[in-house]
Structure 1
């Protein structure tokens, strides 16, 4: 009996050792690469580079709307910075679009109780008449309420939608609020309104307005569209609650110059892979910003992080196996034009983009990552999750991750992707406003997030996993 037990114990030990050996052999990184990954984490956590890049961008360039002088300066800035950071290859690819000029926007309540209001034209809005518009306000709590009324029933009125965005760590209040910004002017025009005014898509209580892109439709009259600051939307509501007519004056001088083609560019830099240079790990951010604020959060954070992450890896004694490509996309704010152009320009090589991620949301620390990869490569992703867990990153149980913003176009074209979820509870306090400035950057969270992107990029570049399968 004792001999049998001893034999069974020995057999169990052999099986356990065999399983353990198989697990080690199946790991994406060997012991030397794990040590390198740990060193990269330490380097990124101690480095000021990502912050220094954001400070440089916001100080030396500032806002950078598609086709503006700031946009042109940003392209030059990005090319020069990539070269200074030691990227092996740096180049630009042209992106074109229409040229919109913001001009000025003014609004005030005429009656019953006169007040000046803080207002911003929505991106792409047409102008009012030179003398402005004065009209009674028709109030709607939601875009759906506006959609529900008969066509041509708002003749001679300004439509006002007061829906207020809600605050969430993952920013999921944005979707229900942004529809009015994008489509509200078309709906209001169909109802006969002379203009659309909406509560800003933001979670703050500051007296600043939030801009953002809106859309017109062919064969629907183009009417001016503007956003009110949250406190001024409350003020307008308080006057409406008193039951009488409220008269509003609006004057917008914005215009799209049909004679001018706005020219921008995607800025791309690479650290070439040592063994598989044609296989690309893609890191993305968008270079443009709205023409208010300094674009520190949207998307200076992403620019600083992905450039710093690639640089840290590029300083290693030996390059990882795959190429790491940083893509700073043009014209995200005005319709993802740079992303669409990139997909078009790189259609023939999209299947060589083995894994990608972008940063274009949030301020605080990353708390979760959601993969969008082939089922067979999930074990490699779980291994990555183990390396990132000490930095507070949980691995989602879902495998439906889509890269953020511009890089989402590559996800849709088949690129395996990771979506990193940062704390975005306060992001929409500043989003698309004058308040998007350097002081809103959280330096310690930035270091941690840069370390996460650095480790992700190194892991993806060294792993033998085929993330499409």
Structure 2
């Protein structure tokens, strides 16, 4: 069988956890919010402005006044019991034994494996490494992997050079799975468009030319791929298309992403790449002066349509009272083949690893199971999470077991707070959620308040689209929570050579861990108003948990 279950001194461990009555300590020394290397100084309102202007990933700020309404009074009161647990987490991370350990572990990981593109040896070796980390963690009772078919594509030699006037070379990255140019490259005149409207109005000018688009999206959305002009260019004889990088700031750093955001299965597939924002502006100025631009473009990529096998990695820390229910704590293991994949998503990986280690060390085993999930091949279109959902959430019975999905895939440049979604749309396989949208917003607001302004800026945003694996869960009416680690600089580094260890801030990583571990514990432990059974863990619950885990262990022995 493909599943590999891991037994980690399970019965002994759970027995002691079940009987443990931990003592609580208050948080230690406060730290200024923006300290350490790579710090960026904002006021709370200033950070909000940066976030909202720099990314489309947040929609509306959640109104905390909602939580003072009479219908939420009991919920807010019951959340206060978690303050001692949050204090213990915060003390351990900010001034205790976990201080700087997220940064140190992540740096070792990134320096060892570097970029981890889908289908690469580096990705698979990094998953081996993380599997060892799961096996040795006290926060994992049962570990297994799931095979996933993923794209295999390799970047080859690539260059863009102006062969008129300056003979200048341009910095560029082709997009993942872009088709290559012919073996001798493409030498052709260039046509430049500064917006979608001018491209559409002058589409006849693209034939037999290399097309440069000095714009991103019809409304300036750097993630937009619906109004890029790609199908029009491909269908009207364009030889290749080069876009302005999807970046909010550039120091001559081109950006990459997946070509299948543009390839639609209908239009002809032509080579596609991103130029730096500086070079698309340069070409626009030259073109506006009426000067001829001729370019020599070479993109020699390999394995355009190949598929290979990777794997998702899972670790369950079995809940004390409701072990059959779970909260998903996730990140993705792959990155693009540039930089080191630090903010995207090395940070998320290590927040998962550190959260399960920290909670287990503190004896904070929640009522529900925490399912740590490391998805593969997110960058190519969420292959890992889609494979998991297809197998594990096919029936109403399976759907009923998942409480909520969490993913950290928005970096940790600054610990801003959380983004969430819990609007129920009527999925027939999921008759109800355990919490309403407002209730989840109030829970996240309360967690920020318990953490304090020295650790988090306390923002809570609503969003129904993330551009991450969480979108797969939203489609199923499963509530989701994301860490808000983007301080407006995420798209300075995103998918570029700059996404390296140098972009990390040790202090902010500690703060993000404090928030993420606190949220994970509370969301997996809380007694929601509509849950099927509940209450605090008792001797009866602990005894039933031992029986449940014993059954899981016997099952794992059968599967191996």
Pick the TM interval, shorter chain: 0.7 to 0.9
Counterpart position of 1:196: 241
Q: Assess if the C-alpha contact under 8 Å between 1:45 and 1:447 holds in 2.
A: yes
Counterpart position of 1:52: 104
Q: In 2, Cα distance between the equivalents of 1:164 and 1:94?
A: 36
Counterpart position of 2:170: 117
User: Any unmatched runs of 5+ in structure 2?
Assistant: 1-69, 423-435, 533-560
Q: In 1, Cα distance between the equivalents of 2:93 and 2:521?
A: 12
| Shift of residue 121, structure 1, vs aligned partner | 0.8
3-state DSSP of counterpart to 2:156 = coil
Matched, 1:226 2:273: yes
Equivalences for residues 14-413 of structure 1 within 5 A: 27-29=77-79, 31=81, 33-46=82-95, 47=98, 48-86=100-138, 87-150=140-203, 153-163=205-215, 176-179=221-224, 184-215=229-260, 216-258=263-305, 260-317=306-363, 319-347=365-393, 348=395, 349-373=398-422, 374-375=436-437, 377-378=439-440, 380-390=443-453, 391-394=455-458, 396=460, 405-413=468-476
Deviation >6 Å, runs of 4+? none
The Cα offsets for residues 4-63 of structure 1, whole Å up to 9 and x where unpaired, read as xxxxxxxxxxxxxxxx9x9679733574x4322210121122323322331122122111
3-state DSSP of counterpart to 1:177 = coil
| Shift of residue 453, structure 1, vs aligned partner | 0.4
Q: In 2, Cα distance between the equivalents of 1:402 and 1:127?
A: 32
Change (3 A) 1:395 1:185: closer
3-state DSSP of counterpart to 1:51 = helix
3-state DSSP of counterpart to 1:360 = coil
Change (3 A) 1:370 1:200: closer
Change (3 A) 1:42 1:134: same
Q: Of 438, 454, 461, which residue of structure 1 is paired with 2:517? A: 454
3-state DSSP of counterpart to 1:179 = coil
Change (3 A) 1:155 1:437: same
Change (3 A) 1:144 1:337: farther
Aligned residues: 439
Q: In 1, Cα distance between the equivalents of 2:294 and 2:489?
A: 33
User: Any unmatched runs of 5+ in structure 1?
Assistant: 1-19, 166-172
When normalised by structure 1's length, the TM-score is 0.85
Q: Greater strand share, 1 or 2?
A: 1
Q: In 2, Cα distance between the equivalents of 1:339 and 1:175?
A: 29
| Shift of residue 90, structure 1, vs aligned partner | 1.7
Change (3 A) 1:402 1:386: farther
The Cα offsets for residues 195-225 of structure 1, whole Å up to 9 and x where unpaired, read as 0011211133322311111222334221111
When normalised by structure 2's length, the TM-score is 0.72
Supply the RMSD in Å over aligned alpha carbons: 2.9
